[in-house]
Each structure stands twice: as C-alpha cells, then as structure tokens.
Amino acid sequence: MKQAEGYTVPSLHSNHFVSCFYEFAETKNCELLTSISIELSTQERNSTMADSKMPNPDHDPATISIHADDTVNPSDSLSPPIYQTSTFKAETADGFLDMATEPFHSAFYARYGNPTSDHARVIIAQLEGAEDAILTASGMGAFTTIMLSLLESGGHVVAQKVHYGGTIGLLENVMHKFGVSVTFVEQTDPDAFQAAILPQTKLIIVETPTNPVMAITDLSAIATIGKKHGIITLADNTFASPINQRPLDHGIDIVYHSATKYLGGHHDLLAGAIATRRDLLEPIWRTSLAVGAALNGFDSWLLVRGLRTLKLRVNQHNSTALAVAKMLESHPRIARVYYPGLESHPQHALAMSQMTGFSGMLSFEIDGDMVQANRFMDALTLVDRAASLGGVHSLIVSPAAMLAAVMTEDDFKARGVAPGLVRLSVGLEDTDDLIADIQQALASI
C-alpha cells in the first residue's frame, strides 16, 4: 500500500479487533454494555493516518527528523515500537504470498526488513531528498551491498585516491576477485574522473569531505560526467550528513552512510543507510537479501532516537569544530589544519557552494612526528583515543595507526597522510572546555 511517494507500508497485524467494554456496578455485578467487532484493518488505519499526516519534503530537517515517519507508525506510541522478532505470521496463504513477494516488505522476515526500521528509512530518505532508503548492519555493509548489486565481472569503477580505509580495502583487495577493476584518481580534479572512464565503466564513487584530510569533491561536476556517459554515481555522505550536504540535489544518483556516525550520533550502534530513487534501490535491496547485512529492530530504534536530534547535534558539531580549527590554525605547534570551513582551505569556495555547514570533523598536523602526536593525544583529558566519529564524545586518532592494517607507508604518502597527522571528531562538549583541553595538551609536548 502506497503511503508516500516511493514508500510502502506493510500490513502488520490481523485485520480484526474486538473491543468489549464492561461497567462494574456497586453490587459487584458485571453488566455488559457493548460488544463491538471492529472490522478495521491495519492497512485501512494507516491509510487514514497517512491522509492526514503525509510527509512534507519542504519542512526543515529538524521537523522531518521528528515527523517524517508519522505515516508508518501503526501505534499511538510517540516512540516507535521495537519489533524484536525474526519473523512474522500470515493469516492466509494469499497473505503469505504477498508478504514473500512484495519488495521492501518489512513484516515478513527480519532479513527483508523490520517495521521499526521503516521509521528510520523514511526519515533518512526525506533528509536526503530521495524516494526511498534501506538500512544495513553497517556502513561497509551498505557499500558492499551496492558494489555487489551494480557491478559484475568485467566491470570498471572510477574512485578517489583518498577514501575511508574500509572503502579502499574493499576496492583494492576484494573487488578484483570478482573481476572488477578500479582506477583511482585525484578527487579535486574533475578532468581526472573524465579521463579515467572506460567503455566498461559502470560506477563512479566519491566521498566528500574525505577521511581524513577533508578534501572536497565537486559533486555537480561528477554528476554531470556520470550522466554524460550513462554511469551511476555514488557518494559517501557520512562526514557531512544530510544536514550539511545533499549530494542528490547536485545530481548524484545514490547516497550512502555509515549511520553509526552522525545519523546515530551516540556511539551505541552499528548501521548503514542507502538512499536513492526506487528503480535503483530495488535491485540493491534484493542483493541485500543475499548479503544478509540486515539491521535489527533494536538498533533501528536507536537510529531513530539519534535522527530525532540530528540537526541540533550537527549544528553544534559544526560550530565547535570551526572554533577549534581557528584556534589550531594560529597555534605555533600546529603545522597545518584541514577543515573546509576555514578560508585558508584551498577548496573553501567549493565547499561553500555545496555545503551549508562543514562537519564536526577536522584533521591537523602536529609540528613533529608520530611520537609528538601520541604525546599530545596522551595529554588530552576530554578527548578519547578511539575509532569512529560523529557522536556526542570527542574522539581522536592517528590515521596512520588506525589504517596501518589496510594501507602501507607508501599508501599514506600517496594520500597525503603525514606521520604527525591526527583526526579529531568534535563532540558535544562545551566549546571553551574543549579548546582549553586541546591547548593544555599542546603545551605539554
């Protein structure tokens, strides 16, 4: 049943509700007042609800995060119910057939979806300006599912030289086993993408800003190249989030996230998300059934919880990160700061043209080597040394240490990762407190 463009609400329960009301008299006798059989199906109820609460794509992202999923809530609970189940029953043979064959049906078997995940799906789709979205068990689960869905032996991919380490690992170490070749290009040069295209190129992959050096890819230019050659374009929007950047608005075909990061925002779940138009999403969803990277009901609920405050959190991340970046830029112990919100960033103008905020992520080079960088990180009291990003706690890592398992020293040099480089994910601590902690740590080295 269609509730909003590109979205299907499943039939969740039996289609009969029986309501009996009793009044207890002082004589302790029980008098039956009413016995009503209400033949109201869940489908009909959702239809009535959808007519009055259709999602409005023109709403502000803060409103979308709270109300976009009103149409998929079968209950009166403000917090979505958690469907902690692996499977769902059907009342009839025809009903079972419908459940088993309807695309995106979330009340058949948990690998196909979960009613709790429908809430996150519709919110993410609207935030990204997409027709629909699906969820996976991790960001790499999302990326792997896309790759296996869109590529086959003999296919070719154009990607950036600098990507998240897991992305590079899959492209360099796994895809060749399936007969897929990859050409890596400089992301700041759209002509390099154009020059790398072959007759068998099926996919162009971009990530902006990039992990960890915060370089910017021209989304409109890449989308134009893709459309010119009939090649699907894919963007990792994890670092920016849809609050700061919407790649689909610039012509990109598919967006994916590690929803573990800003979308979840609390360091307590693993999740991935893919958002695009329905005709592209359905084959990706079918591949996800084979890959099996399904998101469970509880983590779906945690993701919805995080999405409710996404704009508030991201705005604060943006504000604090810019203040930290400006402080670091003028500090004598810092050799270089990588943050697109700084006017000194070589691609600041491009970032301004396609982003409305610049993320809570920044990287900077300690004036020294990895030994000095480690001393600095050891001296921090409010910032934890931990992988991941985009949550309430500020986290810091040495990219060279974190990516040592998937990259060589030559790889680091080719991707501009200096030994003294550290990556900071700015959390939601007070801005002044965080800056003071960073300053005292720098003073200790």
Q: Active-site residue numbers?
A: 111, 164, 236, 261
Q: Would residue 274 be called left, alpha or beta, if left means φ above 0 and alpha means ψ between -120 and 50 degrees?
A: beta
Helix (H) or strand (E) holding 94: helix 93-101
Local structure of residue 176 (DSSP, 8 states):
G
Query: Distance between CA 442 and CA 131 in Å, rounded?
Result: 47
First to last CA, the chain: 62
User: Which residues are within 8 A (CB) of 353 and not within 5 positions of it... i.e. 6 or more apart?
Assistant: none
Give CA angle at 137 (134, 141), nearest 5°.
85
Q: Taking every pair of C-alpha atoms in the chain, what is the biggest distance, in angstroms?
A: 90
Q: Which amino acid is at 397?
A: V
CA angle (275, 197, 178) in 5-degree steps: 65
At 223 the three-state DSSP class reads helix
- Other Cβ atoms within 10 Å of 303 Cβ, number: 29
Asked whether 71 and 46 are in contact (CB, 8 A), the reply is yes
Nearest-10 Cα torsion for 61, 62, 68, 74:
160
CA-CA distance, 253 to 313, in Å (whole number)? Answer: 27
In sequence order, the 6+-apart residues with CB closer than 8 A to the CB of 332 are 367
Report d(CA 4, CA 124) in Å as an integer: 14
CA distance 336 to 320: 18
Task: Report the sign of the C-alpha dihedral through residues 396, 401, 406, 407, in that order.
Answer: positive
Task: Report cis status (omega within 30 of 0) of the bond before 283.
Answer: no
